[in-house]
Amino acid sequence: MSTTESPATGIGPVEGASQYTVDNPAPLIEAPRARTKKTPKSTRGNFEMVAWLFMRLSGVVLVVLVLGHLLIQLVLDGGVSKIGFAFVAGRWASPFWQVWDLLMLWLAMLHGANGLRTIINDYAERPNTRLWLKGLLYTATVFTILLGTLVIFTFDPNIR
Partner 1 sequence: MATPVMEKSDQAPEPGFADSPYITVTFRVRRFNPEVAAEATWEDFQLEIDPKERVLDALHKIKWELDGSLTFRRSCAHGICGSDAMRINGKNRLACKTLIKDVSPEKPITVEAIKGLTVLKDLVVDMEPFFQAYRDVMPFLITKDTNEPTRERLQTAEDRERFDDTTKCILCAACTSSCPVFWNDGQYFGPAAIVNAHRFIFDSRDEAGEQRLEILNDRDGVWRCRTTFNCTDACPRGIEVTKAIAEVKRALITRRF
Give the interface with ligand HEM as residue ranges (CB under 6 A): 55-56, 59, 62-63, 66, 108, 111-112, 115-116, 118-119
Residue 95 interacts with partner 1 (CB under 8 A)?
A: no
How many residues of this chain bind partner 1 (CB under 8 A)?
A: 42
Among partner 1, ligand HEM, none, what binds residue 35 when CB lies within 5 to 8 Å by partner kind? partner 1
Among partner 1, ligand HEM, none, what binds residue 80 when CB lies within 5 to 8 Å by partner kind? none
CB 128, min distance to ligand HEM, A: 22
Which one of 11, 74, 93, 146 is in contact with partner 1 (CB under 8 A)?
A: 11
Calpha distance 62→71 (Å, rounded): 13
Query: CB under 8 A: which stretch of 5-13, 70-78, 80-88, 152-160 binds partner 1?
Result: 5-13
Calpha distance 20→73 (Å, rounded): 65
Among partner 1, ligand HEM, none, what binds residue 159 when CB lies within 5 to 8 Å by partner kind? none
Torsion angle, alpha carbons of 125, 50, 146, 136, to 10: 0
Residue 42 interacts with partner 1 (CB under 8 A)?
A: yes
CB 157, min distance to partner 1, A: 44
Calpha distance 160→14 (Å, rounded): 74
Residue 57 interacts with partner 1 (CB under 8 A)?
A: no
